[in-house]
Structure 1
Amino acid sequence: LTGHLVFSTLHTNSAVETVTRLLEMGMDPFNFADALLGVLAQRLARTICKNCREKYHPEKAEYDALAYGYGEEAFAKLGIAYDDEFFLYRGKGCDTCNKTGYKGRVGLHELLVATAEIKRLIQARASVPEILKVAVNEGMTTLVQDGVLKSLQGATDYKQVKAVAMK
């Protein structure tokens, strides 16, 4: 409210949960909503080793798990069909990655932009599911969705996404 840009960290499971946690800590919802630009949540997932990464055609159950994690309706909009052309990546394990199949980390991100509707919900002390629904409808990509996309690109795998981004 003083014109200063503030960056801070707070341990929560998502960007939306950060908003409700700050309100629970006693922040005034009107001042907070007025000053808020956005909230960025981040998790680090292990990266599939580039030296031993291989493509594979997963079982339908693994495809279905990706779709479920992403949100089946939203995943359908991506237009990614389960067919002979669908593949994912995994690390076989090599000397470079000490036989783990992973080397390094990749960030999974979720950016909640403080739009007029999000600010209105904050002022009304809306619940996490209510704010999340509006944020996703306004185009926010969740941590899990970002992780699924990075799994499809071969940066990480769904096992890692589940480990770091799902409760």
Structure 2
Amino acid sequence: TGPTGSGKTTTLYAFLKKIQKPEIKIITIEDPIEYHLKGVSQTQVNPLKGYDFASGLQSIMRQDPDVILVGEIRDSKTSKIALQAALTGHLVFTTLHTNDAAGTITRLTSLGGDLKNIGPAINLAIAQRLVRKICKKCSRPKTVSPAVLNKMKTALKGLPKRVKIPKLKKGLKISQAKGCKYCNFTGYRERIGIFEAILIDEEMEKFILKNPSIASFRKLAIKKGMVTILQDGTIKALQGLTTIEEVERVTGE
């Protein structure tokens, strides 16, 4: 999930390239086909001929695929077919428009999805954004201000113990954007993804049956070890890949 231009298609293609093998039949329905993938049968919607995501998905199902990519779930018909495909042993990749990973369940129910089917059908819900990377040519280490240090501490509060980060103490230095000819004097060049992911296990499946609010579902995901998109962005700022200002701009937090 994520807004338009947040790199969702690139992530989906990365998954397909990872699992692609000659013996695995992968079929896609996209709008449009953005990259051509070797060993993958790709199709494109054509509304003028009545070939939309729903009809395309129905056609794909008749071809006995192992893996299906649906470019986007926009309506209840596509949602129901995709959920049924996932429940009948197909690995289905798709995208939705939600603010965060926890919003996936609410979005699917709003599209007519049955709660008893949604939990078993989903393995993983990912939310992502793209932030600008600090220019490697002109970035310089700089001591973090007390205000930024406090922001980092707040963002990383409750971070799972498995995630190792530098100590957030006075005098901490991280890379700062500066600006040069190479980056057109912006301080940034290229982009990188920041993510959060919810693994749907048995406990999550049972919780979904209660039709939880987005806030309560997110709270449980964090309790079970989810690194939030803000935390992932903050960690990448600590690693010198982006800046706190850029993470705040993109996440709105």
TM-score norm. by structure 2 comes to 0.61
Partner Cα distance (1:102, 1:78) in 2: 23
The correspondence of residues 51-62 of structure 1 with structure 2, limited to 5 A, is 51-62=137-148
Amino acid of the structure 1 residue aligned with 2:101: A
CA separation of 1:141 and 1:73: change in aligned 2, threshold 3 A? closer
Alignment check: 8 A CA contact 2:105 2:118 kept:
no
**Could you say which residue in structure 1 is the equivalent of 2:134?**
48
Tell me if the contact between 2:165 and 2:235 (Cα under 8 Å) persists in the aligned partners.
no
CA distance in 2, matches of 1:10, 1:154: 30
Task: List 4+ stretches of structure 1 deviating above 6 A.
Answer: none
Between the two proteins, the alignment pairs up a number of residues equal to 165
TM-score (norm 1): 0.91
Shift of 1:139: 1.0
Alignment of 1:81 onto 2:134: no
Worse-matched range after superposition: 42-51 or 21-30: 21-30
Gaps of 5+ in 1: none
- Say if 1:60 and 1:82, in contact at 8 Å, map to a contact too: no
Q: CA deviation at 1:81?
A: 2.9
CA distance in 2, matches of 1:45, 1:119: 32
Query: 1:10 aligns to what SS in structure 2?
Result: coil
Amino acid paired to 1:36: I
- Is the 8 Å Cα contact of residues 134 and 176 (structure 2) preserved in structure 1? yes
* Aligned-residue offset at 1:69: 2.7
SS, match of residue 102 in structure 2 = helix
Secondary structure at 1:41's aligned position in 2?
Answer: strand
Tell me how large the CA RMSD over aligned residues is. Answer: 1.9
List gaps (5 residues or longer) in structure 2: 1-86
Once the two structures are aligned, what percentage of the paired residues are identical? 37
Residue-by-residue CA offset, 1:92-121 (whole Å, 9 max, x unaligned):
100000000000001001111001121112
